[in-house]
Amino acid sequence: MYKAILFDLDGTLTESGEGITKCVQYALEKLGKPEEDLKKLEVFIGPPLKEQFMKYAGLDEETAVKAVKYYRERYSNVGIFENKPYPGVENMLQELRRKKYILAVASSKPEYYVKQILDHFHLTEYFDEIVGSQMDGTRTNKIEVIEEALERLGMKKHRERVIMVGDKEHDVLGARESGLECVAVSYGYGTKEELKEADPLQTVASADELLDFFA
């Protein structure tokens, strides 16, 4: 029986693609590597930014750090709010709280931004802990984020009672590496192929289906 649920943020609780892709586009433009097709930039939703800039644009680490700085120039004022909760998310969180689940957010996004987003959409009250990466680029790996969440919740010795919910393969694989099961949501930014290969415990198509899973 699960007692605690860790939620990813981007692509799981909120539809954040517009803000993220436009900020990546802004950063690449400033680096002289323009990309017109925002759809191609959806690969940046979820993974740690610096590593994704290196992988996507072939940047060395120093230039990737600069890219993250450019990204945040736009994100901190504009991109962060080009975002909205998915349909049914708030109702799902209300019901899970009513059922006495412990809820936490475990995101690779900087914790500072995660808290701002949840405050903006009035979702903060539903969570016992909100965990993200550090602004200095540490704790970006999903496993590190999950381990920090388990530590703060006092659940490191009760992993069998904790489950992750996410939309990308790194949510599923990070959870597995930490000894947790993971439910994937198909409405986010992960492809069917990557989720099938990652092999989550179950895949659901909406916040309502997710609620049914925990019923």
Q: pLDDT tens digit string along 178-187?
A: 999 999 999 9
Q: Is 100 left (phi over 0), alpha (psi -120 to 50) or beta?
A: left
Amino acid present at 24: V
- One domain, residues 101 and 146: yes
- One domain, residues 122 and 174: yes
Q: What is the DSSP annotation of 83-103?
A: -EEPTTHHHHHHHHHHTT-EE
- Number of Cβ within 10 Å of residue 65's Cβ equals 15
Domain containing residue 25: 17-81
**pLDDT, position 73:** 97
- One domain, residues 71 and 175: no
- Asked whether residue 137 carries a pLDDT value surpassing 90, the answer given is no
Boundary-marking domain end, from 81, 103, 127: 81
Number of structural domains (the chain) is 2
- One domain, residues 180 and 75: no
Q: List beta partners, residue 162.
A: 4
- One domain, residues 123 and 182: yes
Residue, of 203 and 215, whose pLDDT is higher: 203
**pLDDT, position 105:** 98
- One domain, residues 90 and 194: yes
- One domain, residues 8 and 58: no
**pLDDT, position 47:** 86
- Asked whether residue 46 carries a pLDDT value surpassing 90, the answer given is no
Domain with 76 in it: what CATH number?
1.10.150.240
- One domain, residues 90 and 39: no
**pLDDT, position 39:** 94
> What's the pLDDT tens digit per position in 47-79?
889 999 999 999 999 999 999 999 999 999 999
- One domain, residues 73 and 144: no
Q: Name the band, by pLDDT with cuts 50, 70 and 90, for residue 45.
A: very high
> What's the pLDDT tens digit per position in 74-130?
999 999 999 999 999 999 999 999 999 999 999 999 999 999 999 999 999 999 999
- One domain, residues 167 and 126: yes
Percentage of the residues of the chain whose pLDDT score is greater than 70: 100
Q: Name the band, by pLDDT with cuts 50, 70 and 90, for residue 38.
A: very high
Boundary-marking domain end, from 55, 81, 107: 81
Boundary-marking domain end, from 81, 112, 137: 81
Q: What kind and span of H or E run contains 16?
A: none
Active-site residue list: 8
Q: What kind and span of H or E run contains 130?
A: strand 129-133
Q: Name the band, by pLDDT with cuts 50, 70 and 90, for residue 149.
A: very high
- One domain, residues 120 and 209: yes
Question: Whole-structure pTM over 0.85, yes or no?
Answer: yes
- One domain, residues 51 and 64: yes
